Amino acid sequence: MKDNIKAFTQKHKEIWKFIKFTFTGASTSVLEMAVFAFLQYIVFKSLNETPVTDSAILNFLGISYKGYLYSYAISAIIGYAAAYIMNRKLTFKADADPVLSTIIYTVMVICTIIFNTWFGAFLASAIKTRGIDNFFIEMLTKLVVMTVPTLWTYPLNRFVIHRRKKQPCAVAFDLHGTLIDTNGKISQKNILSLKKMIKKGVKVIISTGRTVYEIPKVLFDKETVSYIIYSNGASVTDCYGNKIFSNSMSKEKAAEVYSFLSQYDTFIELYSDERPKCEKRQLNYDALTYFDITHSYKDVIMKSRLGCENMIDAIKNSENIEMFNVYFANQNERLIALLKLEKDTALSVTTSAENNLEIFRWGVGKGTALDTLCNKLNIEKENRYAVGDSKNDLSMFEYVNKKIAVGNACDELKAKSDKVICTNNECVADYVLKSIL
């Protein structure tokens, strides 16, 4: 039931706003009537027989006694003020100038009261003239008088009084397999499209399972990228490389994970202190071919990995352990390891290839990192987009409004996506810029 309501509110946002506006109007009307009754029959009871000073306005409104005047004025102010606050904060979540909004709202309320008074009197007179006045007709008339102003009060509240300024927007792009093509390159057209997004005010976020060391230097530019999520969300930096936050694995847990993985025929990478490390004896093309690592990524590994004689010592000497990326030579061993690792409540496990596992601290992920970052930037879920290709991008989909899979994405990601676009060998950023934003 809860999921169905959530789905409805996401799919029919304008209808949901109108429902909330109507509920606010009804609830504040009840509040106004309760306050009016309390004031007239208790607080100002002694003034109910005291006539007001003769006034054309009060005569028009049909107010003859001070008790009614004070009760009506105070209850109306409370009711309309409550509606104003609730609609601003809850219904429309407005951020328009509060002073200007209040002035426009006050003018609208005064005009609405004048109209309701005139229209109510007009209908009552017409009904009496035709001799059809009875309790049912009277209630129907009041309902009509209350409903007609919605024709202008809702549009004014929605688009003028409680309008929202242009909201910040964020697009999170996976890197390898999304922005980076099968040759391991990021095209100039992609770079130019990212720059155009930045100029439009879009927060461009790179979200990768790789280390910050592997990210192309061209992306560390405030005119191209706003923030970088790396090591599957274990760390986040700004475009200058300044760390925003991190969520590392303890040395003890990392040593335990490494010992477990070493039981299998594996190529183990340790992502720590922003530098990927592996066993020195395996840092060669023959070993990488044995573990069926793609040709373009072999070059990346050979250029970026730091070969270590002893990985346990490397773990002990690390300050910030982000994650493990491990390749299996045998798929059965990979499946067995996955099932065992998933039972460990201190760990999260995902994958970005058919022969690897990515292991990090529980609660860490591209999705949680993206959500934390966007919350810091006050970017709401409805203004977030995520673009990816593999299973480790699934967690991002939980925290965004628009889920986008590239044409070369895995089947699981495509099934969860709102839209499947071009492949990573085409200009993904340009497609998103022109067709989705």
DSSP string for residues in 158-173: IIIIT--PPPPEEEEE
With a cut of 90, say whether residue 333 has pLDDT above it.
Answer: yes
Give 29's DSSP letter.
H
With a cut of 80, say whether residue 133 has pLDDT above it.
Answer: no
Residue of higher predicted confidence among 62 and 201: 201
- Mention every residue, 6+ apart, whose C-beta is less than 8 A from residue 246: 234, 235, 236, 320, 322
Burial (CB < 10 A; 0-12, 13-18, 19+), residue 233, is buried
Average pLDDT on 254-265 reads 97
Q: How far apart are CA 10 and CA 27, in angstroms?
A: 24
With a cut of 70, say whether residue 1 has pLDDT above it.
Answer: no
Question: For strand 202-207 and strand 419-420, is the pairing parallel, antiparallel, or unpaired?
Answer: unpaired
Residue of higher predicted confidence among 164 and 285: 285
pLDDT value for 3: 64
The predicted model scores a pTM of 0.66
